[in-house]
């Protein structure tokens, strides 16, 4: 749409071609501006063709066109670029631009049931438009290997954090080794987990010697470490 107050810059349909700003120049300016924002990106950027109303008749600009993002232009695939003429017959046009950012992401090689422990053979990399992946994605299979699926999913699905979780090392009610660490010593005790938990997660554990419930972090080997002041 045209910016309010700049309608006088329009020409009637019968105006000569020499007096009219070519629509291609406006499209090119918007697309070039957007592409310049991704010059430092390692991803493959695709600019979808801009569609402008062929009935537009804007005064031929006697200065170079200027471009900037619209103040309300969202991050993501659909952007709005202000293409401006600041010449003797000024005008501004809001130009929509669709952007695809293609990147290798982790996808499932085949369909798998819920609670599957993921391995390298279950995963592959495929290029997807990350602008469409609002729930997130993984770019390295190592981020996913060893995690389990929260639900049954089909092959070809691009994995995101909502589909996977870390493998539970500790189950509720399970006996665990509780390591209580002070500034100078480490005391090893027997405890009972009060909840399920994965490595790095914080859970409550009941000390079977004192019946005291403490909070600790699950280590990679399944022990639970807690600091004692």
**In this structure, are residues 83 and 96 in contact, taking their beta carbons and an 8 Å threshold?**
no
Tokens of 156: 């070809």
The pLDDT, as a whole number, for residue 121 is 95
State the pTM of this model: 0.61
pLDDT-derived band at 2 (thresholds 50, 70, 90) equals very low
Q: Which CATH code of 2.102.10.10, 3.40.50.300, 3.30.1220.10, 2.30.30.760 fits the domain covering 168-227?
A: 2.30.30.760
Return the H-helix or E-strand segment holding 223: none
Is residue 149 classed as helix, strand or coil in its secondary structure?
Answer: strand
Residue 196: count other Cβ atoms within 10 Å of its Cβ: 15
Residues contacting 25, CB < 8 A, separation 6+: 65
The pLDDT, as a whole number, for residue 72 is 63
The pLDDT, as a whole number, for residue 73 is 59
**Taking 80 as the threshold, does the pLDDT of residue 75 lie above it?**
no
Of 94, 96, 93, give the one whose Cα is nearest residue 49: 96
Of 109, 156, 154, 103, give the one whose Cα is nearest residue 133: 103
**Taking 50 as the threshold, does the pLDDT of residue 182 lie above it?**
yes
pLDDT tens digits for 159-171? 999 999 888 888 8
**Taking 90 as the threshold, does the pLDDT of residue 10 lie above it?**
no
**Taking 90 as the threshold, does the pLDDT of residue 116 lie above it?**
yes
The CB-side HSE value for 4 (13 A sphere, CA atoms) comes to: 0
| Ramachandran angles phi, psi of 41, nearest 5° | -80, 140
* CATH number attached to the domain at 102-166: 3.90.1210.10
Q: Which residue carries 């006996």 as its tokens?
A: 175
Distance CA 24, CA 217 (A): 60
The full set of domain ranges for the chain reads 7-101, 102-166, 168-227
């Amino acid at each position: 749409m045209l910016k309010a107050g700049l309608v006088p810059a329009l020409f009637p349909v019968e105006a000569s071609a020499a007096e009219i700003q070519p629509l291609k120049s406006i499209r090119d300016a918007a697309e070039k501006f957007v592409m310049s924002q991704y010059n430092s990106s390692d991803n493959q950027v695709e600019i979808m063709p801009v569609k402008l109303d062929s009935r537009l008749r804007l005064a031929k600009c006697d200065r170079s066109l200027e471009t900037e993002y619209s103040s309300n232009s969202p991050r993501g695939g659909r952007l709005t670029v202000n293409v401006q003429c600041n010449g003797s017959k000024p005008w501004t046009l809001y130009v929509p631009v669709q952007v695809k950012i293609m990147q290798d992401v982790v996808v499932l090689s085949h369909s798998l049931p819920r609670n599957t422990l993921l391995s390298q053979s279950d995963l592959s990399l495929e290029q997807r438009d990350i602008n469409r992946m609002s729930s997130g994605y993984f770019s390295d299979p190592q981020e996913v290997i060893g995690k389990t699926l929260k639900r049954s999913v089909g092959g070809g699905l691009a994995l995101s954090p909502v589909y996977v979780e870390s493998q539970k090392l500790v189950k509720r009610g399970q006996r665990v080794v509780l390591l209580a660490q002070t500034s100078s010593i480490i005391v090893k005790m027997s405890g009972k987990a009060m909840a399920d938990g994965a490595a790095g997660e914080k859970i409550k554990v009941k000390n079977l010697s004192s019946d005291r419930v403490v909070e600790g972090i699950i280590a990679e080997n399944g022990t639970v470490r807690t600091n004692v002041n």
